[in-house]
Homo-oligomer: A and B are copies of this chain.
Amino acid sequence: MQPDRLAHLKQDFSQGFIAYCGYEAVHAAEGIFHSRLTLRADHRQQDGFVHAGVLATMADHTAGYAAFTTVGPDERILTIEFKINFLKPAVGQALACRAQVIQRGRTLIVSEAEVYAVRDDQEKRVAKATFTMIPVAAARLQPQ
């Protein structure tokens, strides 16, 4: 993979909902993507923990960009389905997410993501997820 393609994907990472929530790209390599989120009150649920949706969104988007590193510039990635386990309630100053492609098939890509709560520079794994994704020609995507 070209370094400028990886740089492009890192820049491309934060748009729309992702930019709105504050997720940022940290690292990209072939089949790998890392991201980070500085936590705010806006990310919490009713009991003060980070909302499961914040963790799931981060895992999904980071795993999607890990998949992006394995396709050409004319292809997009759609999530077919995912499954996420919440291992511990998440509290801290930030979240870190590390995703990797575990299977690059002819039609489908399977990737995994782990999310860590960062508290006083200590990381705790708080969620783990598995994703099935599909590369689609950009020309075929027309949201309207």
Q: Which residues of A contact B (CB under 8 A)?
A: 12, 15-18, 20-21, 41-49, 51-54, 56-58, 60-61, 64, 76, 78-89, 91, 102-103, 105, 107-108, 110, 128, 130, 132, 134, 138, 141, 143-144
Contact = CB atoms under 8 A, between A and B. Distances in A.
Given A17-B44, A87-B105, A143-B89, A79 B61 contact: no
Contacts of A57: 51-54, 56-57
Q: What number of copies of this chain does the assembly contain?
A: 4
Contacts of A84: 81-83
B53 A141 contact: no
A59 to B, nearest CB: 9
A85 B110 contact: yes
**Chain A at the B interface: mostly helix, strand, loop or mixed?**
mixed
Contact of A144 (B52, B91, B143): B91
A120 B51 CA distance: 31
A95 to B, nearest CB: 12
A104 to B, nearest CB: 10
Nearest to A65: B46
Given A47-B141, A80-B80, 10 more contacts: A15-B44, A16-B45, A18-B53, A44-B143, A52-B60, A52-B61, A52-B79, A54-B57, A57-B57, A81-B84
